[in-house]
Amino acid sequence: MATMKQDVTIREAVLADHFLGIVELYRAHGWTHAKDPTRLRRAIECSSFSVVALYDDEVIGFARAMSDEAFAVYIADILVSPDRQRQGIGRRLTQEILRHYPLDTFHHQVLVAERGAEGFYRKLGLAPVSTFGLTAFIRSRSDV
């Protein structure tokens, strides 16, 4: 497994090269974004920073973030191919984003965790907002 990890490259996403693979990742996880690729492409284009995990030029992981490039960054999606999970790829994608927006400059690195992913984010050093005496508020649709 150690050899496989070394063969996986993490780099900034280039939509011309990686978009079809990114859509496939959203589809593989059953996320509604994949139903409207045009809208998904716009979402990624309008994101501040997007990274892919590549294995032999195949997209096996993706993450994106939105930021004001000064104080705050919001991590939107982190996806790893179902058959490549638990190999450290999600960690590397997330760390690439967290390093891009370091806490010595930025005040907050924020995300909304999907059910079942809380443990993953805790392993990466993120904590529930209540840890800081804060409360997160959200309005959200129930059908996505």
Ligand X SMILES: CC(C)(COP(=O)(O)OP(=O)(O)OC[C@H]1O[C@@H](n2cnc3c(N)ncnc32)[C@H](O)[C@@H]1OP(=O)(O)O)[C@@H](O)C(=O)NCCC(=O)NCCS
Closest CA to 75 of 35, 142, 125: 125
Question: Measured from the CB of residue 97, what is the shortest distance to ligand X in angstroms?
Answer: 12
Contact call for residue 78 and ligand X (CB under 6 A): yes
Which of these segments, 11-19, 43-51, 75-83, 136-144, binds ligand X (CB under 6 A)?
A: 75-83
Contact call for residue 27 and ligand X (CB under 6 A): no
Question: Measured from the CB of residue 41, what is the shortest distance to ligand X in angstroms?
Answer: 19
Element at 79 (helix H, strand E)? strand 72-80
- Please tell me the distance from the alpha carbon of residue 29 to that of residue 79, in angstroms, as a whole number: 8
- Please tell me the distance from the alpha carbon of residue 12 to that of residue 48, in angstroms, as a whole number: 11
When CB distances to ligand X are compared, the closest residue is 90
Question: Measured from the CB of residue 19, what is the shortest distance to ligand X in angstroms?
Answer: 18
- Please tell me the distance from the alpha carbon of residue 75 to that of residue 98, in angstroms, as a whole number: 9
Contact call for residue 30 and ligand X (CB under 6 A): no
Name the residues that contact ligand X, by CB under 6 A: 29, 78-80, 85-91, 113-114, 116-117, 119-120, 123
